[in-house]
Structure 1
Amino acid sequence: MLLTIDIGNTKISFGLFRGSRIIKKFDIATETYNGRGLKKLLGRVPISGAIVCSVVPDKNRVIKKDLAMITGKRPIFVGQDIVAPIKNNYRFPKQVGQDRLVTAYAASELYGCPVLVVDAGTAITLDVVSGKKAYLGGMIVPGIKMSLDALYKDTALLPRVKLSKPDSLVGTDTKSSILSGVVFGLSVLLEGMVNKLKAKFGASTTVVGTGGSIHFLSRDRKVFTHIDPDLTLTGLSLIYRKI
């Protein structure tokens, strides 16, 4: 069985694949990850290999060590041991997060091109893959939780708000006003950005939504052609099978 790992700023996502099918997945907070309990979460499933993409270099060494001890195998890191199999047209190719390349590759393989990927994580990224399967670049904006935290940390009186789906468009107290403004505001922002990109790359461009917060931003499904919350993990499995 293949173990795929996506090390993000907020959480580390793990996915176990049997062939092309994900059969188990779980998350561990990135900040508190120390390897304890990972073996128990994985269980006694025989692991044939492991592949990792990471945007948190400080966690790479401990993940590599833990996986080697648990599985007896050295994990493969995208960007270090192999490159994502997609043409990278970014002006400075090394600046692109490996998760963005993996997800863009997965979307191009699974849903065709041209394709636009909206990944709602700690930050929200929009990435474009051309009709010739080349990664062109995209946009980066603050994510939902980052926006909520900024309002709390950078003001004197606004409260901390826990992320949830807003009950209504118009907030009736400070907390519901913040929640509505951030969630619906980012949803409208994404809709406008997607429309601008589709005007540039073609109205038939496929739009795929993914990431841990995508369900908060995908109430209006007209923006998205597909919602695929496991796109990065699936991309890692696709890359591993090409090795």
Structure 2
Amino acid sequence: MFLAIDIGNTNTVFALYDNADDISAMWRCETIASKTADEYAAFLKPLFAMENTSFDDISFVLVGCVVPEAERHIIGFSKKYLPRDPVFVSAENISVNVDLPVPSQVGADRLINAVAVVQDYALPAVVVDLGTATTFDVIGADGSYLGGSIAPGIRLSIDALSKATAKLPHVNVVKSERAIAKSTDEAIQSGIFWGYVGLIQGVLGKIKSEMPDGVRSVIATGGLAPLFADYIDDLDCADETLTLKGLLAIYKEMR
């Protein structure tokens, strides 16, 4: 069996694959950089048991990680309990050409998404990832990763607004039908929702103006992608499992 691990700034996702392409089990926990190898094992072992499998069944471990401090603990967990040496995704071990001066600066999540897009979508393409950061990644007609943009994430913006002001409350991210709100909570939710609709559409428009061959696919991913999918004019689809698809594709390339 193959274990894919996606370590993001907010959450860590573990996806278990058997010999087929379908995910047989998936679990999520909060990303805590100091979480130890033993804590990972204590979290995962009963979940494996619920799927009638064990650590001994794992033959390959592939990790996409954007939290460097967490890497040594995942390595420790994998070596001690599986036992397997995990492979970390980087610009050096994927099939996508990274057309940047310093490819190593690109986050693993962005590279993994690019691999998934090359496999599943018409090119050129843009990925909008609504995660801890809001990222825009451009994949060219030849499948090369061309670069992109990074903006603060939606929840990060809400947190910053609440912490930096004396009276503005912390609110949940919700779909807002109106821009003219009737309460403080609703006003923040409206400003966040429609503000990010405008941000996403504005950046996409600028990216398209810089692409001489146009853009054939625009894909949103991340946990908040479905919330915005119907309101972004240029968006073709929301694919919440894009990163896991990319990890599976990279695993197949490495086998």
TM-score, length-normalised on structure 2?
A: 0.88
Distance 1:208 1:85 in 2: 20
- Given that 1:120 and 1:211 are in contact with CA atoms closer than 8 Å, whether structure 2 keeps it comes out as yes
Residue in 2 that maps onto 1:108: 118
- Given that 2:124 and 2:216 are in contact with CA atoms closer than 8 Å, whether structure 1 keeps it comes out as yes
The residue type paired with residue 219 of structure 1 is D
- Given that 1:183 and 1:216 are in contact with CA atoms closer than 8 Å, whether structure 2 keeps it comes out as no
Residue in 1 that maps onto 2:219: 208
The residue type paired with residue 37 of structure 1 is F
SS in 2 for 1:84: coil
Deviation at 1:155, TM superposition (A): 1.5
Deviation at 1:103, TM superposition (A): 0.7
SS in 2 for 1:6: strand
1:60 aligns with 2:71: yes
The residue type paired with residue 139 of structure 1 is S
- Which of 30, 37, 45 is equivalent to 1:39? 45
Instruction: State percent identity of aligned pairs.
Output: 36
Residue in 2 that maps onto 1:242: 253
Distance 1:223 1:22, change over 3 A: farther
Q: How many residues align?
A: 242
Residue in 2 that maps onto 1:75: 86
Residue in 2 that maps onto 1:194: 204
TM-score, length-normalised on structure 1?
A: 0.92
SS in 2 for 1:146: helix
SS in 1 for 2:13: strand
Distance 1:42 1:29 in 2: 18
Distance 2:25 2:179 in 1: 36
Query: 1:19-70 CA distances to partner (integer Å, 9 max, x unpaired)?
Result: 2222322211002744131222233423221100111011111112223333
Q: Structure 1: which 5+ residue stretches go unaligned? A: none
Deviation at 1:132, TM superposition (A): 1.0
Higher mean C-alpha displacement, 54-63 vs 67-76: 67-76
Residue in 2 that maps onto 1:233: 244
Task: Tell me the C-alpha RMSD between the 2 structures.
Answer: 1.9
Q: Structure 2: which 5+ residue stretches go unaligned? A: none
